[in-house]
Amino acid sequence: MRAIRGATTIGSDCAEEIRAAVAELLNEIKARNALSVADILCILLSNTSDIVSFYPAKAAREAGFSSCALYSSAEPEIAGALPLCIRVLVFAEGDGAPKHVYLRGAANLRKDLKKYSVALDGPSGSGKSTVAKLLAKDLHILYLDTGAMYRACALKAIETECPFDEPSVRALAEKIDLKIVYEGGAQRTWLDGKDVSEDIRRPEVSMAASKISAFSCIREKMVEMQRQIAAEQSCVLDGRDIGTAVLPDAEFKFFVTADSATRAQRRGKELAEKGYDVDLKKLQEEIEERDRNDSTRAHSPLKRAEDAVLVDTSRMTIEEVVAYIKNKIQEKV
């Protein structure tokens, strides 16, 4: 007989989320341990005291695990405990080492994986930033938008009419007042005491970001900030050289890409929704030019890390990409 541990978290205490989380966790345990429902003898479930709207054992029964014994209990309130957490202990027929499963924010419960980083690299418009935000939300860890940091440097250069030469850019890097703050769970970018989170998304700032990020003095300054943040907590980072230069020892690495036509359409839709006039042909040409600039620059060029999983999002929805990456992370855990 095998005893298989597992845990997961939910975003809020509601029956729908409990049903979905329990079904996901038990089906993952079943799949990873090559079990059939008939192999499962008993499932013990417990939940933190902040979960009261629905019994996890009832969710397990509704998910199809009704032929085994089900027990459910509420855990005592413990200061500092992971909130909104559901734990399971599955007893099943069979031999061999059990494969324990920890999903979402419960990955932090792993004794061998207390803090971890997820690196998402890829070209502009591949969808990596959107995926990174959703992934971080699902995993209940921090999302660090590294691209916003380079965009802020580019905005500073534009506003000060800084020439794109080494001495001028180095002087800008030494004096720049850049802060990354988190408000309401979202990252905000502050430059010289002003929130520029929207300003840095302008098209001209995007092009300038590619140019200014080619300077080693800028990259060294930004990488130092990024590493400091990643050293303090689990996080998802997206960029162009996260897995190769910024966090080469990241536990999970992915290279997210898509063809240039698809990326132009995505970026065009985003800009149109913000009120900008969009020329898709010109936008695709700019994206391809940026790809060339990012891939050929001397310092930390855009490239896939040798141990990064390739994810082509051209024909995938955002939800499919997030699910695929979460599955790959769980396989490695």
* Stretch among 78-87, 101-110, 217-226, 322-331 having the lowest mean pLDDT: 101-110
112 in a domain, yes or no? no
Q: Report whether pLDDT(329) > 90.
A: no
Residues 323-333: what's their mean pLDDT?
80
What is residue 108's predicted lDDT score, i.e. its pLDDT?
A: 62
Q: Which two tokens stand for residue 279?
A: 């020329």
Residues 91-102: what's their mean pLDDT?
87
CA proximity to 139, closest of 103, 104, 183, 90: 104
d(CA 197, CA 209) in angstroms, rounded, equals 14
Q: Report whether pLDDT(56) > 80.
A: yes
| Residues 101 and 137 occupy one common structural domain | no
Q: What is the DSSP letter of 227?
A: H
Residues 100-127: what's their mean pLDDT?
80
For residue 97, the tally of other CB atoms under 10 A from its CB is 8
The CATH number for 227's domain is 3.40.50.300
Residues 15-37: what's their mean pLDDT?
93
At which of 106, 125, 150 does a domain end? 106
The CATH number for 61's domain is 3.30.1330.40
Report the percentage of the chain scoring pLDDT > 70.
96
pLDDT in tens, 225-277: 899 888 877 889 998 889 998 999 998 999 999 999 999 998 898 888 888 88
What is residue 212's predicted lDDT score, i.e. its pLDDT?
A: 93
Q: Report whether pLDDT(111) > 60.
A: no
**Total domains, the chain:** 2
Query: Does residue 125 have a known ligand-binding role?
Result: yes
Query: Does residue 197 have a known ligand-binding role?
Result: no
pLDDT in tens, 283-310: 999 999 988 988 888 777 888 999 999 9
What is residue 140's predicted lDDT score, i.e. its pLDDT?
A: 75
Q: What is the DSSP letter of 200?
A: G
| Residues 101 and 203 occupy one common structural domain | no
| Residues 92 and 187 occupy one common structural domain | no
Query: Does residue 129 have a known ligand-binding role?
Result: yes
Ramachandran quadrant class, 140 (left: phi over 0; alpha: psi -120 to 50; beta: rest): left
What is residue 328's predicted lDDT score, i.e. its pLDDT?
A: 86
CA proximity to 21, closest of 102, 89, 75: 102
Alpha helices by DSSP H, listed for 33-124, are: 56-62
Distances in whole angstroms, Cα of residue 277 to Cα of each of 7, 230, 268, 290: 48, 37, 9, 20
| Residues 237 and 317 occupy one common structural domain | yes
| Residues 192 and 224 occupy one common structural domain | yes
pTM of the entire predicted model: 0.60
111 in a domain, yes or no? no
Query: Does residue 126 have a known ligand-binding role?
Result: yes
Query: Does residue 210 have a known ligand-binding role?
Result: no
Range of the domain at 243: 117-332
**Identity (one letter) of the amino acid at 52?**
V
| Residues 25 and 148 occupy one common structural domain | no
d(CA 111, CA 106) in angstroms, rounded, equals 11
Q: pLDDT-based confidence at 41, cuts 50/70/90?
A: very high
Q: pLDDT-based confidence at 16, cuts 50/70/90?
A: very high
pLDDT in tens, 120-138: 999 988 889 899 999 988 8
Distances in whole angstroms, Cα of residue 151 to Cα of each of 51, 70, 86, 95, 189: 41, 53, 40, 54, 10
At which of 106, 135, 166 does a domain end? 106
Alpha helices by DSSP H, listed for the chain, are: 15-32, 56-62, 128-139, 146-159, 166-175, 203-212, 216-232, 260-273, 280-296, 318-332
What is the side-by-side strand order in the sheet with 40-47? Answer: 69-74, 40-47, 85-92, 2-9, 101-102
| Residues 24 and 166 occupy one common structural domain | no
Q: pLDDT-based confidence at 146, cuts 50/70/90?
A: confident
77 in a domain, yes or no? yes
pLDDT in tens, 160-187: 999 999 999 999 999 999 988 877 667 8
The answer to whether residues 35 and 95 touch, using CB atoms and an 8 Å cutoff, is: no
d(CA 134, CA 139) in angstroms, rounded, equals 9
What is residue 105's predicted lDDT score, i.e. its pLDDT?
A: 77
The answer to whether residues 85 and 48 touch, using CB atoms and an 8 Å cutoff, is: yes
What's the chain's average pLDDT?
89
| Residues 126 and 207 occupy one common structural domain | yes
d(CA 45, CA 57) in angstroms, rounded, equals 7
| Residues 130 and 233 occupy one common structural domain | yes
Q: Which two tokens stand for residue 30?
A: 């079943």
> Quick one: 332 exposed, middle or buried, by C-beta within 10 A (0-12, 13-18, 19+)?
exposed
Query: Does residue 122 have a known ligand-binding role?
Result: yes
